C-alpha cells in the first residue's frame, strides 16, 4: 500500500531530502525565505536514517576538508582572534551582516551529513537535475516580470533583488547546470534545456551585472570541450541562438547591457585621463590596493572583516576611496586582508579541492556519460564562481555559500554513488551472480 510504502524510513527521508532542495532553490529564485534552518534538516534526516536503517555516515576526506578548513580558518578566526573588534556607532548596522558572515561556515558543517542521505536513498542525478530545471523554469517568468516591471532600470532591479550581484551570479550558475544537462541528453528535448538555460542567462544578464558576464563564454568553451565529440550540431545551434538573442537585446532601446558597457568605458576614461578613481572600476582598484596593505599588517590571520570595513569607510570619509563598501569586491583580496594566509588556504581548499575531484573523476571515467555530466556541471559551476569572485565577494552572504556547498556536495556524492553502483555490478559479474545494472533513477521512474 502507498501509505506503508511512503512511511518506510528510506522513502520518507528521500521525500523530505528532495523537498529541502526544492524549498531552497525556490527561495533562492524569488530571493526570499530563510536558508540556514534548512541545513539542520540534513543532519536530522541523516541521524534518523542512521538509527532506523543503521546506515554509515560517509566520511570521505574531501567532504571533511572542504567543510572543516573554512570553519577553522575563517569562522573561528573571526570569532576568536578578531572577537574584540566591534563596529563603531557609524557602522552599527553592519553588526548583523558581520555576524552572519562569521557563523556561516559553522552552519555548513551540517553538509557533512548530506552524502549519507544521497548515498543511501533513491536521490540520484536525474532527480537533482529535475530540481535544477524546475528552478530555471521558475526563474524565467520571475525575471521577465522583474525586468519589465522595473523597465530594465538597474537601480530598481537592485532594490527588488538585493544583493542583485550575488543573485545574478547564483542564477546564472544554476542555469549553467541546465546547460550541461542539455548536452548530456540525447533526444530532441536536449535543445529545449539548452534554449531555456540560454534564455534565463540572457534575462539575468539584462540586470546589468557586468561581473556575471565574464565567465559565461569561458564556461561555454569548457562544456564544448567536454562534450564536443558527440554534440557538434548542438554547438552550432547554440552559436546561432546566441547570436539571435544578442541581436534582439541590442534592439531594445537603452538596454542595460549597452548602458553598462558605456559606463565601463566612462570609468576607464576617468581613471586613465583624469586620475579619477571615484567610479565602479576605480573603487575596486583602490580596494584591492588597500587589501594588500592590510594583509601586511596581519599576514597570518588578517585584520578581520569588521576592522577592514572600518578602514574602507575611513578612507571614504577622507575622499581616498569612492564608496564606503562592505568588502573588497574580490574573494581573494577580501580573504587575504580579513583572514590572511590561513583564510587563503581555506578559500583554496574550498575552491580547488572539489575542482580537482571533478577533473580527476572525469579523466578516470571518461566513458561514463552520467559521470561526465556531473563532472562537467561541477567544473563549470566552480570555475564560474571563481571568475565571478574576481570582481566581487561571492561568499559574503550565507545563501550563496549554502548554494555552493549544496551543489558541490550533491554532485560529488552522486559521482561516488555512481561509482559504487558500477563497482557493485562488476563484483556481481566476477562472482557469477546476477548482473544488476539497475540505476536508482530507473527504479523511481518505474514506481512513478
Widest CA span in the chain:
78
**297 vs 98, which has greater pLDDT?**
297
Do the Cβ atoms of 55 and 116 come closer than 8 Å? yes
- What pLDDT, on a 0 to 100 scale, did the predictor assign at position 45? 66
Is 50 exceeded by the pLDDT of residue 17? yes
Percent of the chain with pLDDT over 90: 44
Taking the C-alpha atoms of residue 34 and residue 303, their distance in angstroms, rounded to an integer, is 30
Per-residue pLDDT band for 256 (boundaries 50, 70, 90) equals confident
Q: CA geometry: angle at 167 spanning 152 and 197, to 5°?
A: 80
Angle between the N-to-C axes of helices 280-297 and 331-364, in degrees from 0 to 180, rounded to the nearest 10 = 90
Phi, psi of 153 (to 5 degrees): -80, 115
Taking the C-alpha atoms of residue 319 and residue 277, their distance in angstroms, rounded to an integer, is 10
Dihedral of CA atoms 127, 128, 133, 138 in degrees, nearest 10, equals: 100
Residue 57 region by backbone torsions, left for phi larger than 0, else alpha for psi between -120 and 50, else beta? beta
- What pLDDT, on a 0 to 100 scale, did the predictor assign at position 56? 64
- What pLDDT, on a 0 to 100 scale, did the predictor assign at position 107? 85
**366 vs 296, which has greater pLDDT?**
296
Per-residue pLDDT band for 284 (boundaries 50, 70, 90) equals confident
Residue 152 DSSP one-character state: T
Is 90 exceeded by the pLDDT of residue 261? no
- What pLDDT, on a 0 to 100 scale, did the predictor assign at position 448? 39
pLDDT in tens, 329-347: 999 999 999 999 999 999 9
pLDDT in tens, 156-180: 999 999 889 999 999 999 999 999 9
* Non-local CB neighbours of 252 within 8 Å, separated by 6+ positions: 152
Q: Calculate mean pLDDT across residues 269-273.
A: 59
Nearest by Cα to 405 from 136, 42, 80: 42
Between 263-272, 291-300, 311-320, 367-376, the lowest mean confidence (pLDDT) is in 263-272
Is 70 exceeded by the pLDDT of residue 90? no
- What pLDDT, on a 0 to 100 scale, did the predictor assign at position 242? 79
- What pLDDT, on a 0 to 100 scale, did the predictor assign at position 7? 45
Do the Cβ atoms of 312 and 325 come closer than 8 Å? yes
Q: In whole numbers, what is the pLDDT of the chain averaged over residues?
A: 83
- What pLDDT, on a 0 to 100 scale, did the predictor assign at position 208? 86
Query: Before 163, cis peptide (omega within 30)?
Result: yes
Taking the C-alpha atoms of residue 320 and residue 286, their distance in angstroms, rounded to an integer, is 8
Do the Cβ atoms of 404 and 173 come closer than 8 Å? no
- What pLDDT, on a 0 to 100 scale, did the predictor assign at position 274? 58
Sign, Cα dihedral of 257, 407, 383, 125: negative
**47 vs 295, which has greater pLDDT?**
295
- What pLDDT, on a 0 to 100 scale, did the predictor assign at position 317? 85
Taking the C-alpha atoms of residue 359 and residue 364, their distance in angstroms, rounded to an integer, is 9
Is 70 exceeded by the pLDDT of residue 109? yes
- What pLDDT, on a 0 to 100 scale, did the predictor assign at position 286? 85
Amino acid at each position: 500500500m502507498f501509505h506503508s510504502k511512503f512511511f518506510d524510513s528510506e522513502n520518507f527521508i528521500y521525500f523530505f531530502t528532495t523537498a529541502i532542495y526544492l524549498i531552497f532553490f525556490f527561495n533562492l529564485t524569488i530571493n526570499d525565505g530563510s536558508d540556514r534552518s534548512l541545513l539542520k534538516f540534513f543532519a536530522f534526516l541523516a541521524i534518523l536514517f542512521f538509527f532506523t536503517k543503521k546506515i554509515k555516515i560517509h566520511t570521505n576526506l574531501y567532504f571533511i576538508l572542504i567543510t572543516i578548513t573554512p570553519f577553522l580558518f575563517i569562522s573561528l578566526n573571526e570569532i576568536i582572534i578578531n572577537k574584540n573588534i566591534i563596529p563603531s556607532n557609524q557602522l552599527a548596522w553592519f553588526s548583523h551582516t558581520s555576524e552572519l558572515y562569521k557563523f556561516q561556515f559553522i552552519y555548513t558543517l551540517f553538509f557533512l551529513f548530506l552524502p549519507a542521505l544521497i548515498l543511501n536513498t533513491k536521490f540520484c542525478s536525474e532527480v537533482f537535475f529535475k530540481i535544477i530545471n524546475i528552478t530555471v523554469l521558475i526563474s524565467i517568468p520571475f525575471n521577465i516580470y522583474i525586468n519589465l516591471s522595473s523597465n530594465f532600470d538597474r537601480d530598481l532591479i537592485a532594490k527588488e533583488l538585493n544583493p542583485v550581484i550575488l543573485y545574478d551570479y547564483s542564477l546564472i550558475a544554476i542555469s549553467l547546470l541546465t546547460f550541461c544537462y542539455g548536452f548530456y541528453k540525447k533526444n530532441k528535448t536536449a535543445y529545449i534545456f539548452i534554449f531555456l538555460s540560454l534564455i534565463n542567462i540572457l534575462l539575468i544578464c539584462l540586470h546589468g551585472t557586468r561581473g556575471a558576464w565574464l565567465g559565461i563564454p569561458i564556461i561555454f568553451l569548457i562544456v564544448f570541450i567536454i562534450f564536443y565529440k558527440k554534440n557538434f550540431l548542438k554547438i552550432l545551434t547554440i552559436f546561432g541562438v546566441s547570436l539571435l538573442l544578442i541581436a534582439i537585446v541590442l534592439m531594445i532601446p537603452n538596454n542595460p547591457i549597452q548602458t553598462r558597457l558605456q559606463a565601463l568605458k566612462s570609468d576607464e576614461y576617468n581613471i586613465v585621463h583624469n586620475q579619477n578613481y571615484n567610479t565602479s572600476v576605480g573603487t575596486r582598484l583602490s580596494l584591492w590596493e588597500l587589501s594588500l596593505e592590510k594583509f601586511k599588517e596581519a599576514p597570518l590571520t588578517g585584520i578581520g572583516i569588521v576592522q577592514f570595513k572600518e578602514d574602507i569607510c575611513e578612507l571614504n570619509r577622507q575622499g581616498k576611496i569612492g564608496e564606503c563598501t562592505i568588502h573588497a569586491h574580490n574573494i581573494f583580496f577580501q580573504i587575504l586582508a580579513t583572514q590572511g594566509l590561513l583564510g587563503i588556504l581555506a578559500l583554496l581548499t574550498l575552491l580547488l579541492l572539489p575542482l580537482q575531484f571533478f577533473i580527476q573523476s572525469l579523466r578516470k571515467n571518461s566513458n561514463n556519460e552520467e559521470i561526465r555530466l556531473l563532472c562537467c556541471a561541477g567544473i563549470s559551476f566552480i570555475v564560474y564562481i571563481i571568475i565571478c569572485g574576481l570582481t566581487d565577494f561571492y561568499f559574503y552572504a550565507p545563501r550563496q555559500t549554502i548554494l555552493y556547498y549544496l551543489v558541490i556536495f550533491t554532485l560529488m556524492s552522486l559521482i561516488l554513488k555512481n561509482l559504487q553502483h558500477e563497482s557493485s555490478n562488476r563484483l556481481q559479474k566476477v562472482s557469477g551472480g546476477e548482473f544488476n545494472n539497475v540505476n536508482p533513477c530507473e527504479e523511481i521512474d518505474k514506481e512513478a
